Structure 1
């Protein structure tokens, strides 16, 4: 076991960390993001705030080694918080957006015209000089996107779809027929569970648009209220819980002249629209069956709306959705993924182009015949690669980390978590990160007051990847430390890696409070192959909990300073569910837990996400019973703190409130911390800072009392 002694070059001052963590929005402020590269590769657009505590996003351009501010919201609409349309607020919630101001933007094909929304108003700026200018719009603007030729800007307003020219001549191409209809917006499950945040796509000739029409009339209503303000009426949202009807999504081809063509496919068999696009070969869509075992990629005839199957993939569990697919190269070759055995391959034109054991993570873009993608050869790292016929695969990111990127015109922007923290840089030509011409974009993020000191471990017979954080002041062999498991442990997120992210700083802060903190990515987490991911099919609890227990015991065998008589666990969302399950089902191992926003009853979670893993609750109810906390409250025998935002529209507060009622009825003492006005990602800085203190104090007290009891 490597020593955990801190050197003089690694000072740790954790007293200010909770406030620093909160005011920096998990150290995300001041970091460059949302990159666009011009066709010639000379210019890079991005969004960044002015400091590590400034929440206002501004639009920047990088060219010839120089950064230039293109749009400053403080100069355009004034400083301070500004109201946004409700649809925009919901879109930001789905994207877990933590900033205000310019939070997103879109450009024309030449990256010369940039459009963005501020406080519901439409703004644009030209990247070749000049100041931002407002564009008259019919109402509050959502998701503005210029046409490829830069003559028009499409947007959504009051659920209607509009196109406006730069002089302000506005055309309403689709009008919402009722309060449950919208055009050009992604429905809830698309944005939350499929990573599709947009609802329309321009044709390359700028004369037509592929637009999604969403009808939520069949979807169950939920009401989110603020108990702290009883004068405020509840907000009704459409939330499709597992086993209930989804929104009806159709697609239409709209011309600027007002013509409308319906896209035709078997919507009864394939009700999910996973992805869509429009390239030089025409429009295309990807649709998925309700049970998620069949995915079809369809070519769309732009004149008639008829569709043709280009590709079909099936899987007995579920077909995984890979960001960026499908795509097509200049020659028309389909870019997709293929799962076989325990490898997720990248395929181009039906041919595998990545080797066995390399796990495709996402397709980042296609230019000509080149394909930019991310892949993992080691579960602890994710790198950016370029595939090109005749040259094979080249890895562009070199240093350890988890990277993503964007490429165009021979320029690649690499961004991600590195050993130094969040970083972004520009590569030219055939360079790789680390070559002298690699230009790092300026980050204005705060420097965390704690220095992560993870010891990476491979644990148990399943070779679980773990990271152990010990206090900087602790010397091995000088005494036992209480243990805190700090997992997420569920689909879609990895916490263990050779990189510094916000979660590594938080785990180290808990270590500085006197814990040995263990973080483990178990079965069901991504980038270890499809077989690893799908071991949780039908049971999201048992494998995840087994892996935490096995990893804990294996880590204790490696490090004698871990005190297995004092073990706590904490987590948020799936991690919160896992923490509560740990003290319910394995009280002989776990002695206290903090469960934040836990989905306690899996039937209350959304259709696409939950049915993917557990099936139809009417046909396979046993999967939901074994994977829920509800119904098992009588098992509680350890201290448990439940934390939940009362405005959470993802994991409803009802999950915690109903489970608390079950615990009370069973005579099981527990604690509940409600967060008025907080969503799934609490935004209040004071709340986020105090939450860390509150969790620490609860866990230390619980383990202290256990030690006193012998």
Structure 2
């Protein structure tokens, strides 16, 4: 089952002749298929493990190994097509939900986990358990209860833990001794799970796991989730009235969350509950367990204005406070932290002195020059982080994210070219992933001691267009912006109708110095628009104050879209026709688009609102309460920020503007009730509009034909609404 591929420098395939951009964009899943991802570096620096599909149109990912000690050769360690014998992949409802939360649209091996030595990998295919011996190149299926969810080898490689039927199970790496360490108690089979993340953890905290091995491989920390207190919603399929609706536990803002507890489960059958003040700090936001210190928890209060870092004593489940934090607005969560350094100091990211800094123990290692975004690796010599330019930086580096080495002696930038960079590091080897504006996709370089020793090939297709993009800042607020013009635009062509193309809300940064980010925007530009992408207040990557200025007032994100638009037009640098302005967006961007034509029809003349959040009480607790508080205590705040309320539209101004509302009927994140309530309120107010229901489509719209035609339908609507020839 090993396939050699030494042609690791081959160019990416060009677009297939005769295919339109919407079709290519859809069938390549936004030109992501065929690109390597999910890198793991062996601690001895001998190999790099990653996922990649065979081509730019193949959604099925295989598990690959790059042997750095063997001529820099790539090997296919696990081929899902071979392992399944050509059979179609089947996913359980639990696995589908996990992929929806993580926005995973691929197939085959979409995630894997390894032992500490990166010798053994475990993964699930069609609910079956497989392991791959990464050095030997052999793969085997283990006998296990199914469907298998999230298998993870123990650090010593002797066991594999996984979730099945709500139970946390363990089997030997040899396939022997499968048993349940914890399973739902009698009478709670339908509400209790062990080893899985609850909805808000996966959707809004970016915690997708529910169990963690001890470094000694003798026990695990396991989350027990009971969603009995959570309200039940029903997701129906109106296109198939013969099918029973799916029941989901959805913790809407102001309602009860799942009850989350944590247990230490020993392979010897022992069971100890971890104790902390779960009444004051109900959110289990992060868990870290390494050989550098005791198990480490980050727990948050429900209002997210206070949190504790707790060290766990596994023997009796007691906890001691390592550090406490408070913030008048909210406390952000970050990737890679908290964790221990090898010397036993707490590593965290904290807002201090108006900047987002890296803290080592009680000492900040960075200042206002950097805006730290994530911790990538921690050694005794240094800490590897990703960061943007801070408010005090001389160069704002619009849309740039770089990789830095940080220690007590200072800060060193490892990524050089302007772009968006990330990294994985171990054993003196760094995998540096770099996207820039001047080339499609991302380049993956393997560095040893700072010098390039290999690259990892990408089989992603090249788009059939190149974004004509200018990165700039708009207005006195210095709103980061990207402006795109039609490929063949000439100054003599005169002013163009304008299309704003934002996400516009927290965490969804769109203005990035990376080419693929703007492919769809460029396609819309080539339909005859000047396209503007703006990241206003609330967006991460600039400063804590910039992010938190939207507390209790999300409408400021619309103000910044208007501010940027008018500032760019006033500059005279861009051919913008302010008498023809449209806006499109999805999710938060859909909310923003609908709000734009309802509250600022003096500026916006048409909108495409995709999967918009319209009644903010219908979104989840951890996300919505972070910004707006508890709706049972602050109903007026929710009313002000919502588009619809119990009595209809909220603050809709004249004149009426055309709106296309698009929503997937199978969406279990932003449920279709948002769009149905908006449509009902619009009709009651006598406002004509169009609604496009997408049968069987979730929040991701992964279906190829749907994704292709959705672009075409939007372009047609915008041209009609703005009276373009």
**Which residue of 2 is the match for residue 259 of structure 1?**
270
User: Displacement, 1:357?
Assistant: 3.1
Match of 2:544 among 530, 539, 542: 530
> In structure 2, the residue corresponding to 1:173 is in which secondary structure?
strand
**Which residue of 2 is the match for residue 552 of structure 1?**
565
Counterparts of 1:613-628 in structure 2 under 5 Å?
613-628=627-642
Preserved CA contact (<8 Å) 2:365 2:408: no
Q: Distance in 2 between matches of 1:661 and 1:478?
A: 41
User: Displacement, 1:568?
Assistant: 0.5
User: Displacement, 1:80?
Assistant: 5.7
User: Displacement, 1:426?
Assistant: 3.6
Query: More displaced, 400-409 or 626-635?
Result: 626-635
User: Displacement, 1:33?
Assistant: 0.4
Q: Kindly tell me: are residues 11 and 35 of structure 1, through their superposed partners in 2, closer, same or farther at Cα, counting changes over 3 Å?
A: closer
Q: Kindly tell me: are residues 234 and 400 of structure 1, through their superposed partners in 2, closer, same or farther at Cα, counting changes over 3 Å?
A: same
Q: Does 1:30 align with 2:34?
A: yes
Match of 1:170 among 158, 178, 186: 178
Match of 1:50 among 22, 41, 54: 54
> In structure 2, the residue corresponding to 1:468 is in which secondary structure?
strand
User: Displacement, 1:537?
Assistant: 0.2
> In structure 2, the residue corresponding to 1:477 is in which secondary structure?
helix
Q: Distance in 1 between matches of 2:294 and 2:255?
A: 34
Counterparts of 1:491-506 in structure 2 under 5 Å?
491-501=506-516, 503-506=517-520
Q: Does 1:222 align with 2:233?
A: yes
Counterparts of 1:435-584 in structure 2 under 5 Å?
437=452, 439-501=454-516, 503-541=517-555, 543-557=556-570, 558-559=572-573, 561-584=575-598
**Which residue of 2 is the match for residue 406 of structure 1?**
424
Counterparts of 1:248-397 in structure 2 under 5 Å?
248-280=259-291, 281-377=293-389, 378-390=397-409, 392-397=410-415
Deviations 1:499-529 (A, max 9, x none): 112x400000000000010111100001111
Q: Distance in 2 between matches of 1:105 and 1:478?
A: 52
Q: Distance in 2 between matches of 1:601 and 1:686?
A: 30
Q: Distance in 1 between matches of 2:97 and 2:339?
A: 28
Q: Considering only aligned residues, what root-mean-square deviation do their CA atoms show, in Å?
A: 1.7
Preserved CA contact (<8 Å) 2:21 2:523: yes
Deviations 1:560-582 (A, max 9, x none): 52111111000000011001100
Q: Distance in 1 between matches of 2:300 and 2:146?
A: 34
Match of 1:242 among 248, 253, 256: 253
User: Displacement, 1:441?
Assistant: 0.9
Counterparts of 1:628-707 in structure 2 under 5 Å?
628-630=642-644, 631-632=648-649, 635=653, 637-704=656-723
Preserved CA contact (<8 Å) 1:12 1:451: no
> In structure 1, the residue corresponding to 2:723 is in which secondary structure?
helix
Q: Distance in 2 between matches of 1:62 and 1:13?
A: 32
Match of 1:18 among 16, 19, 22: 22
Deviations 1:348-378 (A, max 9, x none): 1111111213101011222345322110013
Unpaired runs of 5+ residues, structure 1, are 1-9
Normalised to the residue count of structure 2, the TM-score between the two structures is: 0.93
Q: Distance in 1 between matches of 2:462 and 2:354?
A: 39
User: Displacement, 1:15?
Assistant: 6.8
Preserved CA contact (<8 Å) 2:37 2:51: yes
Q: Distance in 2 between matches of 1:380 and 1:301?
A: 43
Q: Distance in 2 between matches of 1:438 and 1:314?
A: 45
Preserved CA contact (<8 Å) 1:412 1:427: yes
Normalised to the residue count of structure 1, the TM-score between the two structures is: 0.95
User: Displacement, 1:438?
Assistant: 5.1
Query: More displaced, 73-82 or 195-204?
Result: 73-82
Residue-pair matches, total? 690
**Which residue of 1 is the match for residue 81 of structure 2?**
74
Q: Distance in 2 between matches of 1:651 and 1:53?
A: 28
Q: Distance in 1 between matches of 2:214 and 2:234?
A: 38
Q: Distance in 1 between matches of 2:368 and 2:494?
A: 45
Preserved CA contact (<8 Å) 1:401 1:418: yes
Segments of 4+ moved more than 6 angstroms: 10-15
User: Displacement, 1:416?
Assistant: 4.4
User: Displacement, 1:621?
Assistant: 1.3
Preserved CA contact (<8 Å) 1:329 1:369: no
User: Displacement, 1:81?
Assistant: 3.5
Q: Distance in 1 between matches of 2:607 and 2:207?
A: 34
Preserved CA contact (<8 Å) 1:81 1:100: no
Q: Distance in 2 between matches of 1:37 and 1:55?
A: 24
> In structure 2, the residue corresponding to 1:423 is in which secondary structure?
strand
Unpaired runs of 5+ residues, structure 2, are 1-13, 390-396
Q: Distance in 2 between matches of 1:320 and 1:379?
A: 22
Deviations 1:654-697 (A, max 9, x none): 00001101111111110000000000011110010000000000
